[in-house]
Amino acid sequence: MNTNLFRRRNILSLFIIVFLYIAVQLMSNLGIIDSYIMLNLIIIGINIILAVSLNLITGFTGQFSLGHAAFMSIGAYASAIATTKLEQPFIVGILMAAVSAAVAGVIIGIPTLRLKGDYLAIATLGFGEIVRIIGLNVDYVGGATGLNDIPQYTNWTWIYFMVIATVLIIKNFINSYHGRACIAIKEDEIAAEAMGVNTTYYKVLAFTIGALFAGIAGALYANYFYFIKPDSFGFMKSIDILVIVVFGGMGSILGSIAGAVVLSIISAFLQSIPELRMVVYAVILFLIMVYRPNGLLGKFDLKDLKLFRKGGKVNAGIKGE
């Protein structure tokens, strides 16, 4: 059905993706985008990957995780070890980051995902803290002082295509058979189980995919900022990621992207008032939760964009509410 329309839509998307990449790359080469703006673009990109991957776990599958930064730190350390100590190219670092974070996701996911709601949140928080404390005490990775002299490989090209890959893979996962099973678990776990969905399998699967992309984000982070330490990936980092997801809208990929962009810009502006930065941030957070508890975009998502549709008919039925 509508193969023609979809093809045109895909071509348009591809065109926009390539255009955006070339535009920023050109502006960067011409010096219109200076290193400060580039830094913020990189931060936005990392935040998008983190938020979209957490959204798969929390927003789509309904599993409340407060330990996402732990996977980011595992990825960051894996990539840092690969590129610094083993002197491998960046792609090996990214692959190692992705694999080790995904393995950690399976190991942490299988026991904890039996828990629900607040208890799961606390257990993931506990795992996140344990990962951080282990990092603080292992001398091979520098302990509390962290790892230095990580080569800077991350640039606009890497960030941009990693963001695109993350969004596309997670979006297609959500729209697949497996993704619908995940959404069913969020809506009603008991009903999903009664309908024959293997809930444990899909919860662990979503958790692992989320962890994998968080690991990639960690690798990009480590190879941009030269330096990582365990305390950068503490409880507050997990909260920051969760805030982006909730701010953008749970279960909305477009929301996570918008949330990452808006919150990164807000926090870049707040850098100019260092003493009151966190106070203002807290107030903004509070106001969002009171006035828009469903986030910026709520349930509005990529496929609701009428941009590419003839006549702008929104497909009813899928969105029940």
Q: Which residues bind another protein (CB under 8 A)?
A: 58, 64, 111-112, 114-115, 117-119, 121-123, 125-127, 129-130, 133-134, 136-137, 190, 235, 239, 242-243, 246, 250, 275-279, 281-283, 285-286, 289-290, 293
Q: Is the separation of the CB atoms in 288 and 282 below 8 Å? A: no
CB of 218 to another protein, least distance (A): 20
CB of 93 to another protein, least distance (A): 27
3-state helix, strand and coil shares in percent for the chain, rounded to the nearest 5: 75, 0, 25
In the block, tokens 């949140």 appear at: 121
Residue closer to another protein by CB (options 127, 160) is 127
Residue closer to another protein by CB (options 239, 268) is 239
Residue closer to another protein by CB (options 84, 112) is 112
Residue closer to another protein by CB (options 89, 293) is 293
Q: What Cα–Cα distance (Å) separates residue 299 from each residue in 59, 65, 235, 266? A: 10, 20, 27, 23
Q: How many helices (H) and strands (E) does the chain have?
A: 12, 0
Residue closer to another protein by CB (options 273, 307) is 273
CB of 54 to another protein, least distance (A): 12
CB of 287 to another protein, least distance (A): 9
CB of 143 to another protein, least distance (A): 9
CB neighbour list of residue 118: distance below 8 Å, 6 or more residues apart = 64
Task: Identify residue 167 by its one-letter amino acid code.
Answer: V
CB of 271 to another protein, least distance (A): 14
Tokens of 275: 């003493």
Round to whole Å and give the CA distance between 287 and 207.
30
Neighbours of 17 (CB within 10 A): 15
Residue closer to another protein by CB (options 38, 110) is 110
